[in-house]
Structure 1
Amino acid sequence: MKGVEMSAFRGMGAFRLGWLVVGAALLVGGCSSNPDRVRDPRDPLEPYNRAVHRFNSDFDKAFLQPIAKGYRVITPEPVDRGITNFFNNLADLTSAANNALQFKMSRAGSDVGRIFINSTVGVLGFVDVATNVGLPSYKEDFGQTLGYWGLESGAYFVLPLLGPSSIRDTIGLAGDIFTDPLFNIEEDKVYWGLVGLRVVDRRADLLAASQILDDAAIDPYVFLRDAYLQRRLSLVHDGNPPPVEGQEDFWDAVDFSAEGKPGKPASRSGRL
C-alpha cells in the first residue's frame, strides 16, 4: 500500500477512535438521564445520535452552509452542473463494482458504459452524455451490496460530519473508500482540494432540501432519521421495498432531490 494511503488510514483511524470514545461517553450519559423513555427500536443509540446530530447541525450552519451559499453565488450554473457531473462520473466506478458484486451485470454494464462515454465524449465527465443516450445512473454503494446479500441495516448511526448512516452502511464506507478514484491520488494538496470541492458541491446541491427540512419538520432529527432509513431500504430493494407496517412513505410527499436549479442531478445514496 502506498505511503499516502497508510497515512490517510492512520489519520482516519485516530479520528474515528476519538469520536467513538466521545460517543460512548455521550451514550452512557444520555441513557442514564432518561431511562424510562420509549425509544424507536431502530435507534437504540438515540442519545449519542442526537448529540452528534446537534454537533453536525451547528457545524453545518456555522461553516458548510455559508461556504455552500457562497459557492452557489460565485459559480455559474453550467460550471456548477459540470462539477457535479464530474464527481457523479467518478461515483459510477463504485457503482459498477457494487452492481457486479450483486451480480446485476446489466446494471454494471450500464455503469461501465456511462464511465466510458462521459469520460471521453463528455470531457472527463463534465458533460453527462450517457444519460442523454439512455444509460441510467444507479449509484450503488457497498452498504447497498451488504444489504442485498442479507445483512440487516442494524442500528441507526449518525457519523460526525458525515451525517446519517447505519451500522451496515458505516461498515460499507470502507469499501466505498477503496473504490473512490480520488483515494489513489498521491499528491495531498490535489487530493484534499478535490475532496473539499466535492463536499462543497454536494452541500450546495442540498441547500433546497435542507430548507424543506427546516420548514417542515417539528423534530428535524426524527424526520431525517425516518427519511434516511426508508430511503436506504428502498435503494437496497431497487425501489421495491417490503412494506413496513405503521410507517408512512415520506418520498411520496417530499422530493429531496430538489436542487434549487432545474435539471441538476442528485446522488441517490443520500450521503454527502
Structure 2
Amino acid sequence: MMTSPAVLADGHEIDPWEGYNRVMFGFNEGLDKYALKPITLGYKAITPDLVETGVSNFFDNISDVGSLLNNVLQAKFEAAGEDLARVSFNTTFGLGGVLDVATPMGIEEHNEDFGQTLGYWGMSSGPYLVLPLFGPSNVRDTGGLIVDSITSPISNIEDDSARYAVIGLQAIDTRSGLLEAEKLITGDRYTFIRDAYLQRREFSINDGQSEDYDDENF
C-alpha cells in the first residue's frame, strides 16, 4: 500500500520515486527469499563459527582500506591513522585480515565510504533510491558506490572466477549479518527499511547527529 511521501523537516520530499522503488524492492525481496537467504542459511549451517568469524574479519579488513581512503578525503587524519594501523596489524599479524588483532589492541574501527565523503563536503543526498541487488540507497550514495567498487581491493583480483567468488562470498557474509536484525522489522517492510537506512546514513555522515524527518513512520 502506498504511503504518504516522507519529507524532511524543511519540506523536501525524500521518496518521490516511491512507485518505482517499491517495485524494485519487491524484486529484491523475491531474490532474497528464493536465493540469497536460503544460500546464507545453508552457509551458516555448514560453516563453523570460527570460519564465519574469519570470513567477516577478512571483509572488514578490506572495508578498513576504503575507510582509510575516505577519512583522508574528509581530512579526518586521526581516524585515517587508526584505519592505517588496523589494516597494517590485521593484514600482517592477522593473516591477511582473517584474525582481528587490532580491536583487542584498542584501535577503533571506522566505517566510511565515498557516499559519506560526498555528504561530508555538503553534497545533498538526493531522492531515496532502491537499487537492483544492492537495495537501499540514494542518488549521492549510488555515485559513491561506483567509486567504492572501483577502489576496492577486490576489484584488483585479475582472475574473473576468483573475483566473482569473492564478491559472492561477501554478499553471503553481509546477508548473514542481517539475519538477526531483520527480526526487528515491524509494519510495512518497505517503509521500515527506507526510514532505517535514511536515519543511519544521516547519523554516519554527521558523525552521530541525525536530522529529524517529518514522517510518522520514524
Question: Normalised by the size of structure 2, how large is the TM-score?
Answer: 0.93
Consecutive unaligned residues in structure 1, runs of 5 or more = 1-33, 251-272
1:69 lines up with 2:37 in the alignment? no
- Cα pair 1:93 1:179 within 8 Å, conserved: no
Aligned to 1:24: none
1:199 has 2:165 as partner: no
Identity across aligned pairs (percent)?
A: 47
Match of 2:5 in 1: 39
2:202 to 223, 226, 233: 233
What 5-or-longer segments of structure 2 have no aligned partner?
7-12
- Which of 129, 134, 152 is the matching residue for 1:180? 152
Cα displacement (A) at 1:248 = 8.0
Q: Which moved more, 1:171-180 or 1:224-233?
A: 171-180
Residues 1:170 and 2:142 aligned together:
yes
Deviation at 1:206, TM superposition (A): 1.0
Higher relative CO (Cα under 8 Å, sequence separation at least 6) belongs to: 2
Q: 1:84 aligns to what?
A: 56
The reply on whether 1:218 has 2:187 as its aligned counterpart is yes
Residues 26-85 of structure 1: per-residue CA shift (max 9 Å, x gap): xxxxxxxx9xx7422110000000000000001100000100000000011011001000
Deviation at 1:249, TM superposition (A): 10
CA RMSD, Structure 1 to Structure 2 (Å): 1.6
Shift of 1:205: 1.5
| Offset of residue 211 of structure 1 | 2.5
Q: Where do residues 83-122 of structure 1 align in structure 2 (5 Å cutoff)? A: 83-122=55-94
Residue 244 of structure 1 aligns with which residue?
212
Letter in 2 for 1:244: D
Query: Letter of the aligned partner of 2:105 in structure 1?
Result: V
CA distance in 2, matches of 1:85, 1:249: 34
CA distance in 2, matches of 1:59, 1:125: 30
Separation of aligned partners in 2, 1:220 and 1:128: 34
Tell me what 1:54 maps to: 26
Residue 130 of structure 2 contacts residue 138 of structure 2 at CA under 8 Å; is this kept in 1?
Answer: yes
Q: How far does residue 212 in structure 1 lie from its aligned partner after superposition?
A: 2.3
Amino acid in the other structure paired with 1:155: P
The aligned length equals 211
Q: Does 1:133 align with 2:102?
A: no
Cα deviation 1:210-248 (Å, max 9, x = unaligned): 2322xxx2111001101100100000011123x415468
CA distance in 2, matches of 1:113, 1:169: 27
The SS at the match of 1:158 is: strand
